[in-house]
Chain A
Amino acid sequence: MKATLWGTRGSLASGGPDTVRYGGDTAAVEVRGATGEVVILDAGSGIRPIGVQLAGSPARIDILLTHLHMDHIQGLGFFAPLFDPSVEVHIWGPGSTTIGLHERLTRYLSPPLFPVMLRDLPGVTLHEIRPPASFTLGGLSVRADLITHPGPTLGFRIDSSECVLAYLPDHEPALGAVVFPDAPEWTSGCDLARGADVLIHDAQYTGEEYQSRVGWGHSTFEHALAFARLSRVKKLVTFHHDPGHSDEMLDRVMTEIRKSHELEFELVPGRVGLTVCVD
Chain B
Amino acid sequence: MAQQPVELILLKQWAGYLTLPVWLMDGRGNLLYYNEPAEGLLGVRFEEAGEIHADQLAEYFQTTAVDGAPFPNEKLPVVVALQQRIPNHATVRVMGFDGVWRTLAVTAFPVEGQGARHLGAVAMFWENPDS
Chain A residues with a Cβ under 8 A of chain B: 94-95, 97, 130-132, 145-148, 152, 175-178, 183-191
Q: Chain B: interface residue count, which band?
A: 10 to 19
Asked if B10 and A148 make an inter-chain contact with CB atoms under 8 angstroms apart, the answer reads yes
Are B13 and A175 in contact, CB atoms less than 8 angstroms apart? yes
Question: Are A185 and B14 in contact, CB atoms less than 8 angstroms apart?
Answer: no
**Which B residues are within 8 Å of any A CB, using their own CB?**
1-7, 9-10, 12-14, 16-17, 113-115
Chain B residues within 8 Å of A148, by CB: 6, 9-10
Q: With A185-B2, A185-B3, A186-B4 as known contacts, state yes or no: A146 contacts B114, CB within 8 Å.
A: yes
Which of B2, B4, B9, B114 gathers the greatest number of chain A CB atoms within 10 Å?
A: B9
How many residue-residue contacts, CB under 8 A, span A and B? 50
Give the distance in Å from the alpha carbon of A177 to the alpha carbon of B9 in the complex: 9
Q: Which 9 A-B pairs have the closest CB atoms?
A: A176-B13, A191-B3, A130-B115, A185-B1, A146-B6, A190-B3, A188-B6, A185-B3, A178-B16
Check if A146 sits within 8 Å of B5, measured CB to CB: yes
Q: In the bound complex, do residue A188 and residue B9 qualify as a contact, i.e. CB atoms below 8 Å apart?
A: yes
Q: What residue in chain B is nearest A175 (Cβ atoms)? A: B13
CB distance from A66 to the nearest CB of B (A): 13
Q: Which residues of B contact A131 (CB under 8 A)?
A: 114-115
A191→B2 contact, CB < 8 A: yes
Contact status B114-A176, CB under 8 Å: no
User: How long is the Cα–Cα vector from A166 to B114 in the complex, in angstroms?
Assistant: 22
CA distance A175 to B9 in the complex (A): 10
By a CB distance below 8 angstroms, the chain B residues around A183 are 1
- B114 cross-chain contacts in A, Cβ below 8 A: 94-95, 97, 130-131, 146, 152
| Alpha-carbon separation in the docked complex, A148 to B13 (Å) | 12
Contacts of B113 in A (CB 8 A): 146
With CB as the reference atom, state the residue of chain A lying closest to B12: A186
Whether the pair A185, B17 counts as a contact (CB closer than 8 A) is: no
Closest B residue to A133 using CB positions: B115
Contact check, A185 vs B115: say whether CB atoms are below 8 A apart. Answer: no
Cross-chain contact of A145 among B1, B6, B14 (Cβ < 8 A): B6
Q: Do residues B1 and A184 form an inter-chain contact, with CB atoms below 8 A? A: yes
Give Cα distance in the complex from A191 to B4, angstroms.
9
Expressed in whole angstroms, the Cα–Cα distance for A74 and B17 within the complex equals 37
User: Once the chains are docked, how many angstroms separate the CA of A94 from the CA of B17?
Assistant: 30
Cβ contact within 8 Å between A185 and B4: yes
Is the pair A146, B13 in contact by a Cβ cutoff of 8 Å? no
Closest residue of B by beta carbon distance from A192? B3
Q: Could you jot down 16 A-B contacts, CB within 8 Å?
A: A94-B114, A131-B114, A145-B6, A146-B5, A146-B7, A146-B114, A147-B6, A148-B9, A152-B114, A175-B13, A176-B16, A178-B16, A185-B4, A186-B3, A186-B12, A189-B3
Q: Do A184 and B3 touch (CB < 8 A)?
A: yes
What distance in Å separates the Cβ of B103 from its nearest Cβ neighbour in chain A? Answer: 30
